[in-house]
Structure 1
Amino acid sequence: MIKKKSIKNKDDAGWEEKVVQVKRVTKVVKGGKKLSFRAVIIVGNEKGQIGVGVGKASDVIGAVKKGVNDAKKHMILIPLTKSYSIPHQIYGVSGAAKIILKPSATGSGVIAGGSTRTVLELAGIKNILAKQLGSNNTLNNARAVLDALKNLRTFQYTADKRDITLDYLYK
């Protein structure tokens, strides 16, 4: 697993936030229905750091602020190749949502849809093929992509983990 580096100065410039979904949710209470909003936010710096967060509040602006804070708390660092792709094919799961990520040739772009595309673009990945399987839930698909990206390994990391040289790994 990739070492988690502490992310200093999350408030610095370079961080991009995207609101993927805002839903109006209600809760039935004794006096009637209580209305609130749920926002799904994705925060990334396009250099390999990405986070997905959810915020709930009685107004949209409050929900977005809470979502941004949540996304910054759950930030991960991913390894990128020189061609701004991923090192190998990987699967991710969150709830009923499953996702397949495959590295793609230089110049092919981000071939993905929905929240998957947003997560990959904000992570800084420019050449990738993604397929959503199972659920169409926006939040679960974003979390499935995060799960897949979290489990990526570089060749150097694998060689270090097995206590062998990188050249021996390629043989």
Structure 2
Amino acid sequence: MAREPREGGRGGREREQGDDLVDKLVTINRVAKVVKGGRRFAFAALVVVGDQKGRVGYGAGKAREVPEAIRKATERAKRTMIRVPMKEGRTLHHDTFGHYGAGKVVVRAAEAGTGIIAGGPMRAVFESLGVNDVVAKSLGTRNPHNMIKATFAALEKASSPRHVASRRGKKAAELFGKREQGQTEAEVTNG
């Protein structure tokens, strides 16, 4: 039985949505249900949707026809969108780690001009998110569903300095140890 080529990766299917959302088809898989008369075939689609400004979501859909499976997956992806804080609108604020099942993902912030260095399904997530510079490594599994869920687990852990400062009851400048006007180095270290 010949396998159908998978769509996705670098040249994956990409469509513009009405709400300035971009959806990327990560994978389509033909699945079968065994019934008394033989096999019933259906298609399972995995889609990532994002606004390229810090919001991204993923969804899976299954139907007897490919377009219907993609439509269902896109609707689910729109419902599960999360907001990810970005540094300078191009990368993450800090390195983070996420895992789901056997899938583990390490996501690292990168310098300007680095580009998206990530494999397969993770690349679709970062392109939809609007991240331009990131280095990511997946460990443990090549299953696209688990890789995307692990990537989302890592992105949900990401936070901005402003958010961390508010949790600690401080100002963002205090986290970085910036001196106030007229303060010397000795006064900063002595408190």
TM-score, normalization by structure 2: 0.81
| Structure 1 counterpart of 2:74 | 68
| Structure 1 counterpart of 2:18 | 12
Counterpart code for 2:23: E
1:47 touches 1:123 (CA, 8 Å); kept in 2? yes
The answer to whether residue 172 in structure 2 is matched with residue 166 in structure 1 is: yes
The answer to whether residue 28 in structure 2 is matched with residue 29 in structure 1 is: no
State the distance in 2 between where 1:148 and 1:82 align.
Answer: 19
Mapping of residues 43-62 of structure 1, within 5 Å? 43-62=49-68
TM-fit CA distance, 1:164: 1.6
Segments of structure 2 that go 5 or more residues without pairing to the other structure are 1-16, 178-191
State the distance in 2 between where 1:164 and 1:83 align.
Answer: 24
State the distance in 1 between where 2:136 and 2:21 align.
Answer: 24
| Structure 2 counterpart of 1:153 | 159
State the distance in 2 between where 1:44 and 1:168 align.
Answer: 33
**Of 161-170 and 17-26, the range deviating more from structure 2:** 161-170
| Structure 2 counterpart of 1:108 | 114
- Matched residue of 2:75: which SS? helix
Counterpart code for 2:176: Y
| Structure 2 counterpart of 1:137 | 143
TM-fit CA distance, 1:168: 2.3
2:53 touches 2:89 (CA, 8 Å); kept in 1? no
TM-fit CA distance, 1:83: 5.4
State the distance in 2 between where 1:168 and 1:17 align.
Answer: 39
1:89 touches 1:102 (CA, 8 Å); kept in 2? yes
Counterpart code for 1:124: G
TM-fit CA distance, 1:29: 2.0
Aligned-CA RMSD value: 1.2
Segments of structure 1 that go 5 or more residues without pairing to the other structure are 1-10
1:83 touches 1:106 (CA, 8 Å); kept in 2? no
Number of equivalences: 161
- Matched residue of 1:106: which SS? coil
| Structure 1 residues 70 and 131: alpha-carbon distance in aligned structure 2, compared to 1, 3 A threshold | same
State the distance in 1 between where 2:98 and 2:111 align.
Answer: 21
Identity %: 35
Deviations 1:7-62 (A, max 9, x none): xxxx6341111111110000112332111100001111100110110000011011
State the distance in 2 between where 1:138 and 1:166 align.
Answer: 37
The answer to whether residue 91 in structure 2 is matched with residue 95 in structure 1 is: no
Q: 2:130 aligns with which of 124, 140, 149?
A: 124
TM-score, normalization by structure 1: 0.90
Bigger Cα Rg:
2
TM-fit CA distance, 1:120: 0.5
State the distance in 2 between where 1:93 and 1:51 align.
Answer: 17
The answer to whether residue 43 in structure 2 is matched with residue 42 in structure 1 is: no
TM-fit CA distance, 1:165: 2.1
- Matched residue of 1:47: which SS? coil
Mapping of residues 73-84 of structure 1, within 5 Å? 73-82=79-88, 84=90
